[in-house]
Amino acid sequence: MALSADWQIEVSGFDVAAGVSHTPTSRAELMAGAHGRVEALIRQAGQRVEAWRYFVGLEGGFDVFEENGRRLVLLESWAYVRDEAGREAYGRSAGIPVPEALSADVLDRGVELSQAIDAYSGASGVRDQQGAAGVLTRNLIAREEAFRSAMIAAFAPFFNDAKFTGRGSSSVA
């Protein structure tokens, strides 16, 4: 992945627990899930005796809030990045409105989002393909793109340091 012309990252993926519910239902829980995944990665790196420069946790789910007396639900993807020195940042994707029929399955009936989106879309394995984001946006924003934008947002203070600290050039130290 290239975040800037002079900065390349090799990505290794690991399945680690987030420490939150299967389908987070608040911004705080989404952020905690991404953060929890990083904590798990740091422990895993220590057990493997490997030096990793960046740790990234991803979490997707719902941001549920009330406005003018009605429940609004946005599908969001979150990323949390911490580097080996302890610098950290969060980023998120665009929030995609979730139809009441889908949000009711998850929030009111306790159906996991991966199962609910399959039933809602009439397809199977949606989570591992275009994701709920792809279904809801007619694939204009697929799951991968939502997490990609969250990661770019979270990495911005690292690859564009000068704009965030007011010091030096805009490259990673």
50 Cβ neighbours under 8 A, 6+ residues apart: none
DSSP 59: E
More confident call, 91 vs 52: 91
Task: Please state which of the ranges 20-24, 27-31, 32-36 shows the lowest mean pLDDT.
Answer: 20-24
What is the C-alpha to C-alpha distance for residues 134 and 27, in angstroms, rounded to an integer? 21
Structure tokens at 101: 């029929």
Distances (CA, A) of 99 to 31, 95, 96, 102, 146: 23, 13, 10, 6, 18
Enter the pTM of the model.
0.87
